[in-house]
Amino acid sequence: MKAACFDRVRGVRIEERPMPQPEPSDIILRVDSCGICGTDLLKFRQQSVSDGTVLGHEVVGTVADRGQDVRKFELGDRVVVAHHVPCYQCHYCLRGSLTMCRHFKETNLDPGGFAEYVRVPGSHVEHTAFKVPDSVTDDEAIFMEPLACCVRNMNRLALAANDTVLLVGLGSIGQMMVDLFRNRDCQVFGLDLKEERCKLAVKRGAFACATELNDKFVREIKQLTEERGVDVLLLTAGHMALVNQVLPLVRDGGKINLFASLGGNDESNILEYLYHREISLVPTYSATPDSLEEALQMIEDKSVEVNSLLTDRLPLKDLYDGITRLNNQEAMKILIRP
C-alpha cells in the first residue's frame, strides 16, 4: 500500500509499505479521508517527528479487515477514529487529566491516516472509534477529533451565560469555537488577519470581528463589556507579542485560554502579570473519548456546521501542497483522499 511520509529534505515522500495486519482486537480501515490538522503543520515546520513518520489522525475509513475478537464493527462499516487513548488507570487518568496520561501520546494509529490503509489497535477500537451515522458524510466526520478538542476546551472553561470572548485566530478551529460559544449564549469578538475569515465568523454568529486591533474594535469590546474587558481570551493562533497587545482587553479575574502553542521564547513578564490580576490560564491539550462522542453527536445534529470549513480535497501525493497551502493560510481545512 502507499503511504505519504514525512521527509526531512523534500517535505513528503510516497512510500510503498506492507499492508497492516490485524491483531485479534484490531481493525484495518481502508482510509477514505484524513484531515490535515494544525498539529501536523507544526510537526512539519518544527521537524519534530523522525524521517519516514506517517502523520494523519483525523481518519474516516471503511473496515477492510478485523481481528477475530472484534464485535463492535463489521466489514464494510464506515468508521471515524482518533489517535490517542488514555490508560484510565494512572495517577493522571484517575484525577481527570486524561490527556496528560503518559500512555496517551504513546498510543497511535498504525502507520497514520495519510496512507491507503491503517491499523486501528484494539484500545482505539474500544474507545476512540465510532460508526459514522448514515446522515453524516465523510467530509463532516473528519471534524470529529478537532471538534472534540474544542468541545473539551469549552467544558474546561466553565463559562457563564453572556460571557464575552476575544477569540484570536479564525481558522477552522476558531470557526467551530464561534458555533460552540454561540450555542452557549456567549458573545464573541474575533480577530484574524484574513478578512474572509472574519466575515464567515460574523455569519456564524460572532458579535464583531476585525483584522487588526484597531481603535474601533477595542471600543466595541469596551462598550459591550462596560469597560471591563472580555471574560475569556482564547488563543487558537498568535504569538507572544500579540498576547501582550491583547492582554489589556481581558477583564480582571478573567481567563486566558491557550488552545495552541505560540512558539518563540519571549522574555516577557507574563506570569507576573497573570498573578497580580488573578487571571487564570486554561490550557487544553487534545481530546478525550467522551468529548469525541459529544463532537460526533454535534456534527450529526448539525449544532456545529462543518461543511463550509472544508476548502480542498487532495490525493495522497499532494499532501505537501496541502501543508504549504495551510501554512500560507490559503485554505482553511484540507482533507487527503488516499
Contacting residues toward Zn ion, per CB under 5 A: 37, 86-87, 90, 93, 101, 145-146
Q: Report the residue number, 140 or 231, with the smaller CB distance to Zn ion.
A: 140
In the complex, the smallest distance separating the C-beta of residue 112 from Zn ion, rounded to whole angstroms, is 12
Q: Report the residue number, 191 or 287, with the smaller CB distance to Zn ion.
A: 287
CB neighbour burial string for 31-57, b if at least 16 within 10 angstroms, e if fewer: bbbbbbbbbbbebbeeeebeeebbbbb
Residues 6+ apart with CB under 8 A from 249: 166, 218, 221, 229, 230, 233
Cell numbers 484574524 label which residue? Answer: 192
Single out the residue of 139, 180, 161, 203 nearest to residue 284, CA to CA: 180
In the complex, the smallest distance separating the C-beta of residue 272 from Zn ion, rounded to whole angstroms, is 33
Single out the residue of 124, 125, 182, 121 nearest to residue 150, CA to CA: 182
Helix (H) or strand (E) holding 208: strand 208-210
DSSP 8-state code for residue 115: B
Q: Report the residue number, 42 or 90, with the smaller CB distance to Zn ion.
A: 90
Whether the CB-CB separation of 48 and 103 falls below 8 Å is answered with no
Whether the CB-CB separation of 310 and 176 falls below 8 Å is answered with no
Q: Report the residue number, 209 or 335, with the smaller CB distance to Zn ion.
A: 335
In the complex, the smallest distance separating the C-beta of residue 338 from Zn ion, rounded to whole angstroms, is 17
Half-sphere exposure of 28 (CA within 13 A, CB side): 17
Q: Report the residue number, 147 or 247, with the smaller CB distance to Zn ion.
A: 147
C-alpha cell at 164: 464575552
CA dihedral over 218, 222, 223, 224, signed as positive or negative: positive
In the complex, the smallest distance separating the C-beta of residue 35 from Zn ion, rounded to whole angstroms, is 7
Q: Report the residue number, 37 or 70, with the smaller CB distance to Zn ion.
A: 37
Q: Report the residue number, 91 or 219, with the smaller CB distance to Zn ion.
A: 91
Q: Report the residue number, 189 or 259, with the smaller CB distance to Zn ion.
A: 259
φ, ψ at 148 (rounded to 5°): -60, -40
In the complex, the smallest distance separating the C-beta of residue 178 from Zn ion, rounded to whole angstroms, is 18
CA distance 143 to 148: 8
In the complex, the smallest distance separating the C-beta of residue 217 from Zn ion, rounded to whole angstroms, is 30
In the complex, the smallest distance separating the C-beta of residue 316 from Zn ion, rounded to whole angstroms, is 18
In the complex, the smallest distance separating the C-beta of residue 266 from Zn ion, rounded to whole angstroms, is 26
